[in-house]
Structure 1
Amino acid sequence: MWPFEPVPVMDPTSLLPTFMLGQLPDLPACPSFSTILEWSNYDCNVKVAGFSVGFSMFAVIAFTCSVFAFELMLDLRQRAVISSDEQPTKLYSVVGAIDAADKTKKSNLKKQIMEKFVSSQAYGLDKINFSIFSQFYGLIEGCGFMLLGAYPYLWKLSIDLGAKLSWTEADEIKLSCLFFVLMTFAGEATGLPLSIYSTFFLEKKHGFNKTTPKLFVKDKIQSIILTFAIGSPVLALLLYIVKSTGELFYLYAWALMFVFSVTMMTIYPAFIMPIFNKFDPLPEGDLKTSIEALASSINYPLTKLFIIDGSKRSSHSNAFMFGFGKNKRIVLFDTLMKQVTNDEILSILGHELGHWALSHTLVNFVVTQLYFGAAFFGYGLCLNTNYLYSAFGFDRDSVPTLISLILFMLYFWAPLDKVISFLLTINTRMAEFAADRYSIGLGMKTLQSGLTKIHIENLGSMKSDKWYSTYHYSHPPLAERLEAMAVEEKRVAGKSK
């Protein structure tokens, strides 16, 4: 069934694609918004431009457009800041203080950052323009999927393809896995133009892209294969749990996601990442000895040190840690090795180790698991409220479990998800300040210069709109971060006297 009901003056089916699956049942008009909100009140239709739209779809589209408008406003504020020729005097001042504190008098970070200001602004402007276009593209794609009946169409296509394999509608889990495959291909197809532009135009224009077309295609194929190989069995097991474990299914689903998360955190860096990148042991030398001594000083159970060939795709740099229990590993990007000194690498790793020592990694894992638990519990409350899903074009007597799960997670959970994501962004920023303080507390004196060099090499933003950075930045703006480090260094120096 299809969520539009024609009005007497026109036949909308003549304007819509041929795969429309029907029309909404004749439901009453929704009550006014002054009425007390109850589920039963909103099993109804909303009149929009001569069409009757199921309330749940209307609410989803209204929320989606509201979020788009809000985030567009933030993007335009950021664009205005980036487009301005006004110099980031606060950043210059903070970086100048780093140069002044260098007793060797070899530091010229202020000069470097001033020289990169124009390039940073140009890169930032291209990125924000691309972000605005991408969000508009996503809005059209998302609303189009709903209004043009893509979900019921792909489900019907899954049934038709399944019939060729002698599957019936009773084989819902098999059909759901087939639907998952079709949805994945549809998402890849609609997202491919943006991915190509970002990689081969935007990143290449500013000197970052190293990915060849052959590597790009290879990565896409490998990613899709892994998605199907890992996602399909997990999806089948999840659907089996939802359909067979009764009202407390969310507890079993939660347990499944816990096991899956732990498993992926273990095997992804050890077995999946090496499919895409080469991991080489860090050569013997002063750097390796210093990193091992640093890890030992805080009882970090480091077992292996790697260099990853990140430069074959991008000149952006990074470093990360992974592993459970007594088997921890540290990975340095080869690009990072070229951008900063050994002492600065140690300071940066001191920051990363701070996340471990201060339990930020553990807290993030626990929060993620609580998030899954809350999401599945919320889904359980709406599982049998079929009119929520029938408004998207499905027969309310036979809404597939996977469809209700996807629609809930993508749309009905979205308002709470936005709030949670914002709170997590704030918490992550606080954790970054704390990890910086931890590194300085270890006696690291080159964290400021190391992070500044990375920022320069990656053409990071040198000035940001306050609202935009508060909403989007998981890491504090560079000037704020360096300023906080300077205060901490003074505090530590004063305490040691």
Structure 2
Amino acid sequence: MAFPYLEAVLGESYWFREGFRVSLIAGFMIFMYFFETYLDIRQHAALKLTNLPKPLEGVISQEKFERARAYSIDKSCFHFIHEAVTILMDTAILCFGILPWFWKVSGNLVAYLGLDAENEIMHTLSFLAGVMIWSQLPDGELREKIEKLAASLKFPLKKLFVVDGSTRSSHSNAYMYGFFNNKRIVLYDTLIQQCTNEEEVVAVIAHELGHWKLNHTMYSFIAVQHTVIPLQHLVNFGLNLVSRTFEFQADAFAKKLGYAKALCAGLIKLQEENLSAMNTDPWYSAYHYSHPPLVERLAAIEEPDSKKED
């Protein structure tokens, strides 16, 4: 029982019956499914738009736009099917008590093997989906530029790595990790391949260093990541709002360092290569996206500083 003391006091009160609690959770899950499906329908309609957003006209070719559009529509169609199957499975698991049944069967199996069925610590085997191949970023102009940028910001860079991501997908990224004065920067090899010049790669690193300089990592670590089911969606929405604000701030930081043009070029290149959606529904992106849409980021970067001060 979830509330043994209250149930002992209130007896067989309907409000504390297991069936009611299950129905309440299932009802909330179904409500959120229909709400998010409504947002998905809005986004699907935006993906079907055949025209590039005006800020991207002349910047991204029609061919690449069509490729990204077709890819996004296919993903959207699959998403509808995936979510429908997921809500059916989750509701069935919850309403028919499949997990408690499976827990009981697992206990019987442990007992059958002659082990202690009361021991809740179960050892399971985990398999890695893939192995990342790491290597040091070779000496050269790119390494020198990144090290110079890190030194100018007093970032305690100890090592620069390149990770092999191209053997799995074309997704590109860069990130940093480490504690105190022992930090590393990791570049996906796809990022280096997709950017047209080293300045664009350095601009992406400047953005990531903006997260560090502005203490975004610490704030994100402190922020609550998980909560009870009824509040989880609201919390995630709030975290996305904070995350998008951080992204704008990190872009502004890179712009302040003189990388505005290179950052715009790098963001556009990543958008093209990752086949990300060019047209986004504002409601959908506000609810789902942890990063602002490309059009909004470009507009913020290109906005004159004097206008912001006014």
Residue 128 of structure 1 aligns to a residue whose secondary structure is helix
The correspondence of residues 138-217 of structure 1 with structure 2, limited to 5 A, is: 138-169=86-117, 171-174=118-121, 177=122, 181=124
8 Å CA contact 1:113–1:456 kept in 2: the answer is no
- Root-mean-square deviation (CA, aligned residues, Å) is 2.3
Distance 1:292 1:86 in 2: 41
- Give the deviation of 1:424 after TM superposition: 0.1
> Which stretch shows the higher mean deviation, 433-442 or 80-89?
80-89
Aligned to 2:41: 76
The correspondence of residues 42-441 of structure 1 with structure 2, limited to 5 A, is: 42-44=15-17, 54-92=19-57, 96=58, 110=59, 112-169=60-117, 171-174=118-121, 177=122, 181=124, 221-223=127-129, 276-340=131-195, 341-368=197-224, 371=225, 375=227, 413-441=228-256
Aligned to 1:467: 283
> Which stretch shows the higher mean deviation, 83-92 or 287-296?
83-92
* Structure 1 gap segments, 5+ residues each: 1-38, 46-53, 97-109, 185-219, 224-274, 376-412
Residue 158 of structure 2 aligns to a residue whose secondary structure is strand
Which amino acid is the alignment partner of residue 17 of structure 2? C
Aligned to 1:399: none
Distance 2:51 2:165 in 1: 34
8 Å CA contact 2:177–2:185 kept in 1: the answer is yes
TM-score by length of 1: 0.57
TM-score by length of 2: 0.89
> Which structure has more helix as a fraction of its residues?
1
Report Cα offsets for 1:438-466 as digits up to 9, x if no partner. Answer: 01111214100111111111111111111
Residue 221 of structure 1 aligns to a residue whose secondary structure is coil
Report Cα offsets for 1:188-210 as digits up to 9, x if no partner. Answer: xxxxxxxxxxxxxxxxxxxxxxx
- Give the deviation of 1:222 after TM superposition: 2.6
Which amino acid is the alignment partner of residue 421 of structure 1? N
Which amino acid is the alignment partner of residue 438 of structure 1? F
Which is higher, the Rg of structure 1 or of structure 2?
1
Are residues 333 and 464 of structure 1, via their aligned partners in 2, closer, same or farther at CA, if it must alter by over 3 Å?
same
- Give the deviation of 1:493 after TM superposition: 12
Report Cα offsets for 1:317-369 as digits up to 9, x if no partner. Answer: 1111111111110111111111111001111100000000000001001114x
Aligned to 2:4: none
Distance 2:167 2:49 in 1: 34
Distance 1:79 1:291 in 2: 39
Residue 162 of structure 2 aligns to a residue whose secondary structure is strand
Distance 2:308 2:115 in 1: 74
Residue 116 of structure 1 aligns to a residue whose secondary structure is helix
Which amino acid is the alignment partner of residue 491 of structure 1? D
Aligned to 1:389: none
Are residues 493 and 301 of structure 1, via their aligned partners in 2, closer, same or farther at CA, if it must alter by over 3 Å?
farther
- Give the deviation of 1:149 after TM superposition: 2.7
Which amino acid is the alignment partner of residue 345 of structure 1? V
Are residues 166 and 289 of structure 1, via their aligned partners in 2, closer, same or farther at CA, if it must alter by over 3 Å?
same
Residue 446 of structure 1 aligns to a residue whose secondary structure is helix
- Give the deviation of 1:155 after TM superposition: 1.2
Distance 2:24 2:253 in 1: 46
Residue 65 of structure 1 aligns to a residue whose secondary structure is helix
8 Å CA contact 2:14–2:20 kept in 1: the answer is no
Are residues 437 and 154 of structure 1, via their aligned partners in 2, closer, same or farther at CA, if it must alter by over 3 Å?
same
- Give the deviation of 1:221 after TM superposition: 3.2
Report Cα offsets for 1:378-415 as digits up to 9, x if no partner. Answer: xxxxxxxxxxxxxxxxxxxxxxxxxxxxxxxxxxx111
Distance 1:43 1:166 in 2: 37
Report Cα offsets for 1:183-235 as digits up to 9, x if no partner. Answer: x9xxxxxxxxxxxxxxxxxxxxxxxxxxxxxxxxxxx8335xxxxxxxxxxxx
Aligned to 1:20: none
Q: Percent identity?
A: 39
8 Å CA contact 1:317–1:336 kept in 2: the answer is yes
Distance 2:279 2:158 in 1: 40
Count residues in correspondence: 296
